[in-house]
């Protein structure tokens, strides 16, 4: 009974910690994030200049001026990132500016870069979903909100190291409960072992699936329109009747001179010019 009480207490503490990680925040696409303290000190002036330029664009009532200022803010953030100030908040700032400048491909690419650094970055994830919602319905996008996400929704809201810690704890609890249950009658401990085992699988399975999928480098089409072709040649027949819009996401299959073979998120493989795409480098 003492052991059962301890296991129940561990479960309560786990639930409390999981709930504590779910602090809510609201961010509509285009809202600028304050720059993170992670940024290198030498890049701070340019980051401040980017924030000021972005805010100036938000205040402008002239559309042309607004678009020009958003594009300028995007360039300033890019300069800071190239100077070594890469972190998820600055990547999201740049993506916000790109989205406001109506450069959807660069925006989606930027949000994906932010999430490659920190998968738990909520603003980047929410703004990415907003940017994707502006694509035509026929454009395939990575699946989100599956069964695992439904039951383990707090997993994406927690830092990767914290997820690994919880996974290790759940595995240890499952093994302990199962070891004790084998020598005792009743189903309570077996149910606890099954519960913790299910939590453990839910925590590690998405990582395993992601690693297998991301073994091929992901990327985004940044050109306004890209004709998907059946081969790596300019005059090869189009693979699709409609050009792919900026913001279409893909997995890189192979890279040839000036051409990329890519796989869309519906499994279709096509060839596109290398200049029309941007891939995600490992952080």
CATH at residue 232: 2.30.30.40
CB atoms < 10 A from the CB of 12, how many? Answer: 10
Do 209 and 222 lie in a common domain? no
Does residue 76 lie in a domain region?
yes
Given a cut of 70, is residue 224 above it in pLDDT? Answer: yes
Domain end position, chosen among 112, 142, 172: 142
Gyration radius of the chain's alpha carbons: 23
Give me the mean pLDDT over the 28-48 stretch: 57
Over the stretch 245-281, which tens digit does the pLDDT of each residue have? 999 999 999 999 899 999 999 999 999 999 999 998 7
Alpha helices in the chain (DSSP H): 2-20, 44-59, 63-82, 88-100, 104-117, 122-133, 147-151, 160-181, 188-213
Nearest to 58 by CA among 82, 80, 35, 28: 28
Q: Which domain holds residue 67?
A: 41-142
Share of the chain above pLDDT 70, in %: 72
Given a cut of 70, is residue 36 above it in pLDDT? Answer: no
User: pLDDT confidence of 109, banded at 50, 70, 90?
Assistant: very high
Given a cut of 50, is residue 7 above it in pLDDT? Answer: no
Over the stretch 188-203, which tens digit does the pLDDT of each residue have? 777 787 887 787 776 7
Given a cut of 80, is residue 205 above it in pLDDT? Answer: no
CATH at residue 127: 1.25.40.10
Does residue 35 lie in a domain region?
no
Give ∠ CA 283-271-136 in degrees, rounded to 5. 80
Give me the mean pLDDT over the 55-70 stretch: 96
Number of domains, the chain = 3
Do 115 and 181 lie in a common domain? no
| pLDDT for position 158 | 58
| pLDDT for position 186 | 65
Do 61 and 96 lie in a common domain? yes
Mean pLDDT of the chain: 79
Domain end position, chosen among 116, 142, 168: 142
Do 103 and 186 lie in a common domain? no
């Amino acid at each position: 009974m003492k052991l059962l009480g301890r296991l129940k207490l561990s479960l309560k503490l786990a639930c409390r910690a999981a709930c504590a990680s779910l602090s809510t925040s609201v961010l509509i696409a285009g809202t600028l994030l304050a720059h993170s303290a992670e940024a290198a000190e030498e890049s701070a002036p340019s980051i401040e200049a980017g924030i000021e330029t972005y805010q100036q664009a938000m205040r402008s009532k002239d559309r042309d001026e607004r678009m020009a200022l958003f594009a300028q803010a995007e360039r300033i953030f890019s300069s800071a990132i190239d100077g070594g100030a890469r972190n998820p908040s600055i990547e999201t700032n740049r993506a916000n500016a790109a989205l406001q400048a109506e450069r959807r491909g660069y925006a989606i690419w930027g949000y994906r870069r932010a999430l490659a650094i920190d998968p738990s970055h909520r603003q980047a994830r929410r703004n990415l979903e907003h940017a994707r919602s502006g694509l035509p319905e026929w454009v395939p996008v990575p699946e989100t909100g599956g069964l695992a996400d439904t039951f383990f929704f707090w997993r994406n809201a927690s830092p990767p190291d914290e997820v690994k810690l919880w996974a290790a704890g759940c595995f240890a609890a499952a093994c302990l409960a199962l070891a004790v249950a084998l020598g005792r009658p009743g189903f309570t401990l077996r149910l606890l072992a099954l519960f913790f085992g299910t939590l453990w699988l839910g925590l590690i399975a998405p990582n395993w699936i992601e690693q297998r999928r991301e073994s091929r480098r992901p990327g985004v089409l940044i050109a306004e329109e890209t004709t998907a072709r059946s081969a790596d040649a300019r005059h090869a027949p189009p693979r699709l009747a409609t050009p792919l819009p900026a913001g279409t996401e893909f997995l890189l299959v192979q890279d040839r001179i000036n051409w990329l073979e890519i796989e869309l998120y519906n499994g279709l493989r096509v060839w596109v010019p290398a200049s029309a795409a941007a891939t995600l480098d490992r952080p």
